Structure 1
Amino acid sequence: MGNVIFSIIWLIILIFIGFWVAGIAAGIYIIVLPFTVCINALSGLTDFLLSVVQFPKYCAQGIVDGRGFN
């Protein structure tokens, strides 16, 4: 069992930052993704945006584990 304080901090990050950032990144990802078929240089951008969209999962894992920020 991890530290409860870190779990609470991760929850706050999830609610106030994680959902908002992931939502904005998801919108951009949806718009840019079809263009990667024609422009291969955009694949790096879409890979980054996909990892940003998955940030709430990272926060939720931090809540469950109660781990720090290292």
Structure 2
Amino acid sequence: MGNIVYTLIWMTLLVFVVWPIAWFLSAVWIILQPFEACFNIVVTINQYIEKFVLWPRDMGQAISSGQSSCPAPA
């Protein structure tokens, strides 16, 4: 296990920043899914949004390892 201070910081960030962003954008992502077949730009938008929807998973890995760098939406 890494540094407990970073674990606490990332947990706080997860609850107050990352989850609200992911929840909001997941609804947008789901709404746009059917339109990917019609508009090419929607594919690009959904790929970008998907990075934020998956951000909590990356944050969870940072929390469990106590890593010192904040995971960015990748």
How high is the TM-score relative to the length of structure 2? 0.88
Q: CA deviation at 1:7?
A: 0.3
Matches within 5 A, 1:30-41: 30-41=30-41
Q: Which has the higher contact order (CA 8 A, sep 6+)?
A: 1
Q: RMSD of the TM alignment (CA)?
A: 1.1
Paired AA for residue 37 in structure 1: A
Count of aligned pairs between the two proteins = 70
- 1:58 is displaced (CA, Å) by 1.0
The structure that is helix-richer by fraction is 1
Q: Which amino acid aligns with 2:6?
A: F
- Aligned structure 1 segments of 4 or more residues deviating by more than 3 angstroms: none
The residue correspondences of 1:4-19 to structure 2 (distance < 5 A) are 4-19=4-19
Write the distance in 1 (CA, Å) between the matches of 2:18 and 2:39: 29
Aligned to 1:56: 56
Q: Tell me the percent identity.
A: 27
Unaligned segments of structure 2, at least 5 residues: none
Gaps of 5+ in 1: none
Tell me the TM-score normalised to structure 1 length. Answer: 0.92
